[in-house]
Structure 1
Amino acid sequence: MLTLIEITRGVSGAIRLMKGDPSGLALLDRSREGFWRSFRPAVLLAPLYAFYLMMIYDGATTASSEPRVAALETLRYIIDWTLFPVVLLELSRFMDRAKRYIGSVVALNWANVPFLVAAVGLSALSRLIAPSLVGVVELAVILATLVLVARILRCTLDIPWVPAIALAALNLWLGLMLGLIINGFIGFTFEAA
Structure 2
Amino acid sequence: MAAGLIPSRAEAGRSIAGLFYLSLKRPEGLKLFDVSSDGFWRSFGAFAWAWPVQCFLWTGMWRASPDTRPESAGDYLGFFLTSTAFDVAAWVLPAIMLLAVTQLFGMADKFTRLVVVNNWFGLFSAYIGFFPAALRYLAPVPDGLSAIISLAVYVIVIGLYYRVTRIAVGGETMIAVFITALMVVSGLTISEFAFTALSGE
TM-score normalized by the length of structure 1: 0.88
Residue 48 of structure 2 corresponds to which residue in structure 1? 43
Give every structure 1 segment of 4 or more consecutive aligned residues whose post-TM-superposition deviation is greater than 6 Å: none
1:62 is matched by which residue type in structure 2?
A: T
2:92 is the counterpart of 1:91: no
Higher relative contact order (CA 8 A, sep 6+): 1
Match of 1:115 among 125, 128, 131: 125
Cα gap change, 1:175 to 1:188, in 2 (>3 Å): farther
Q: In percent, how many aligned pairs have the same letter?
A: 23
- Give structure 1 stretches of 5+ with no counterpart: none
Task: Tell me, in whole angstroms, the C-alpha distance in 2 between the residues paired with 1:101 and 1:83.
Answer: 14
Task: Tell me, in whole angstroms, the C-alpha distance in 2 between the residues paired with 1:131 and 1:55.
Answer: 15
Residue 80 of structure 1 corresponds to which residue in structure 2? 90
Instruction: Note if contact 2:25-2:167 (Cα within 8 Å) is conserved in structure 1.
Output: yes
Two-structure CA RMSD over aligned residues (Å): 2.0
2:149 is the counterpart of 1:137: yes
Cα gap change, 1:83 to 1:125, in 2 (>3 Å): same
2:79 is the counterpart of 1:69: yes
2:154 is the counterpart of 1:149: no
| Deviation of 1:113 (Å) | 2.6
| Deviation of 1:186 (Å) | 2.9
Task: Tell me, in whole angstroms, the C-alpha distance in 2 between the residues paired with 1:22 and 1:151.
Answer: 11
Residue 162 of structure 1 corresponds to which residue in structure 2? 174
- Give structure 2 stretches of 5+ with no counterpart: 1-5
Count of residues in correspondence between the two structures: 189
TM-score normalized by the length of structure 2: 0.85
Listed one character per residue, the Cα deviations across residues 33-77 of structure 1 (whole Å, up to 9, x for unaligned) are: 111111112111111211222233233223984444323211111
2:84 is matched by which residue type in structure 1?
A: T
Cα gap change, 1:23 to 1:8, in 2 (>3 Å): same
| Deviation of 1:13 (Å) | 0.8
